[in-house]
Amino acid sequence: MPLEDDVEDVVVAVDELVAVMVMAELRLSPRAAAGHHDHEGS
């Protein structure tokens, strides 16, 4: 089914986009991200 193929393509594209955004965020503020996680953990 072509529809399923389209959905799969979109899922892959979104997955890659999220990965890029996460990497960019970690690169921009690694200390802030780490500190935030530590704060939530405590």
Parent domain of 14: 3-32
pLDDT of amino acid 26: 86
Q: What is the pLDDT of residues 1-42, one digit of tens each?
A: 678 999 999 999 999 999 999 999 888 876 665 555 555 554
Confidence (pLDDT) at 6: 92
- Residue 40: inside a domain: no
Looking at the domain assignment, is residue 23 inside a domain?
Answer: yes
User: For the chain, what is the domain count?
Assistant: 1
Residue 2 confidence (pLDDT): 77
Q: What global pTM score does this model have? A: 0.50
Report the pLDDT value the prediction gives residue 19, as an integer from 0 to 100: 96
28 falls within a domain: yes
| Residue 21 within any structural domain of the chain | yes
For 1-42, give the DSSP string: -HHHHHHHHHHHHHHHHHHHHHHHHHHH-HHHHHHHHHHHH-
